[in-house]
Structure 1
Amino acid sequence: MHKSRIIISCCIVLLLNIKVVAQDAHFSQFYSAPTFLSPSLAGSTGGTRFVANYRNQWPGISKAFQTFAVSADFYLSEYRSGFGALLVTDKAGSANLNTTYLGLQYSFRVPIGDDWQFVPGLQFTFGQKSLDRSKLLFPDEVVTGSPSSGQVYLTNTKAQYLDLATSVFFYSPKFWIGAVADHMLRPNYSFMGDKSILPLKFVNFGGMNLWRANVSRIEEPRFASLSYRFEYQNGFKQLDIGGYIYGQVLDFGVWYRGLPIFKNENIQNHLIDNDALVLTLGVSTGPFRIAYSYDLQLSSLSTYGAGAHEISIIWEIDELFECVDCFSRRNTLQFHKNRPRNMKVN
Structure 2
Amino acid sequence: MRSKKIYRILEYNWINRALTALVFLFIYCLPGFSQSNIRINNYWENTYYINPASIYGEYNFVLTGAGRKQWINFPGAPQTFFTTFTAYSDHLNTQLGLKFFSDKIGYTSLKNLSLSYSYSVKLDDAHKLNLGVSGNVQDVLYDMNEANTETIGDPVVYANQNKMTNFNADVGFELVGRYFLIGASSQNLLSLFNEDNKLQTNASFLYGSYNMLSEQPVRLRTGITFIKNDALNQLEFNLSSYFSFNRHPDLFQLGALYRTNNEIAALFSIDLISSVRLAYSYDFFIGDIRRSSYGSQEIMLIWKFSEIPGCATCYKLFK
TM norm structure 2: 0.81
Q: Which residue of 2 aligns with 1:231?
A: 227
Distance in 1 (alpha carbons) for counterparts of 2:103 and 2:114: 14
Does residue 1:278 correspond to 2:265, yes or no?
A: yes
The amino acid across from 2:38 in the alignment is: A
Instruction: Summarize deviations over 1:76-128 as a string: whole Å, max 9, x none.
Output: 112111111011000111x2x11111111111111112211000011111111
Of the three residues 158, 161, 166, the one matched with 2:163 is 158
TM superposition shift of 1:236: 0.9
The equivalences for 1:137-152 within 5 A come to 137-139=148-150, 141=151, 146-151=152-157
Uncovered stretches (5+) of structure 2, i.e. residues with no partner: 1-32, 245-250
Distance in 2 (alpha carbons) for counterparts of 1:151 and 1:172: 52
Instruction: Summarize deviations over 1:136-189 as a string: whole Å, max 9, x none.
Output: 2223x3xxxx5434336x355311011111101001111110000111111899
Q: Which residue of 2 aligns with 1:117?
A: 128
Instruction: Summarize deviations over 1:2-60 as a string: whole Å, max 9, x none.
Output: xxxxxxxxxxxxxxxxxx94322110111234321211114433421110111000111
Distance in 1 (alpha carbons) for counterparts of 2:188 and 2:63: 25
Q: Which residue of 2 aligns with 1:340?
A: none
Q: Which residue of 2 aligns with 1:103?
A: 114
The equivalences for 1:4-153 within 5 A come to 21-93=34-106, 95=107, 97-139=108-150, 141=151, 146-151=152-157
Q: Is the 8 A contact 1:188 1:196 kept in 2?
A: no
Q: What is the Cα-based RMSD across aligned positions, in Å? A: 2.4
Instruction: Decide whether aligned partners of structure 1 residues 120 and 34 sit closer, same or farther in structure 2, where only a CA change above 3 A counts.
Output: same
Deviates more, 1:243-252 or 1:120-129: 243-252
Higher strand content, 1 or 2: 2
Q: Which residue of 1 aligns with 2:290?
A: 302
Distance in 1 (alpha carbons) for counterparts of 2:310 and 2:172: 22
TM superposition shift of 1:289: 0.7
Instruction: Decide whether aligned partners of structure 1 residues 42 and 174 sit closer, same or farther in structure 2, where only a CA change above 3 A counts.
Output: closer
The alignment covers a number of residue pairs equal to 279
The amino acid across from 2:286 in the alignment is: L
TM norm structure 1: 0.75
Distance in 1 (alpha carbons) for counterparts of 2:193 and 2:73: 32
Bigger relative contact order (CA 8 A; separation at least 6): 2
Q: Is the 8 A contact 2:100 2:114 kept in 1?
A: yes
The amino acid across from 2:117 in the alignment is: Y
Distance in 1 (alpha carbons) for counterparts of 2:125 and 2:94: 19
Distance in 2 (alpha carbons) for counterparts of 1:300 and 1:155: 32
Secondary structure at the residue paired with 1:75? Answer: strand
Q: Is the 8 A contact 2:59 2:304 kept in 1?
A: no
Uncovered stretches (5+) of structure 1, i.e. residues with no partner: 1-19, 215-220, 259-273, 331-346
The equivalences for 1:203-282 within 5 A come to 203-214=205-216, 222-248=218-244, 249-258=251-260, 274-282=261-269
The amino acid across from 2:282 in the alignment is: Y
Instruction: Summarize deviations over 1:224-261 as a string: whole Å, max 9, x none.
Output: 11011111011211111112111132211111110xxx
Distance in 1 (alpha carbons) for counterparts of 2:197 and 2:62: 38
Does residue 1:172 correspond to 2:174, yes or no?
A: no
Q: Is the 8 A contact 2:253 2:268 kept in 1?
A: yes
Deviates more, 1:228-237 or 1:205-214: 205-214
Secondary structure at the residue paired with 2:154? Answer: coil
Q: Which residue of 2 aligns with 1:328?
A: 317
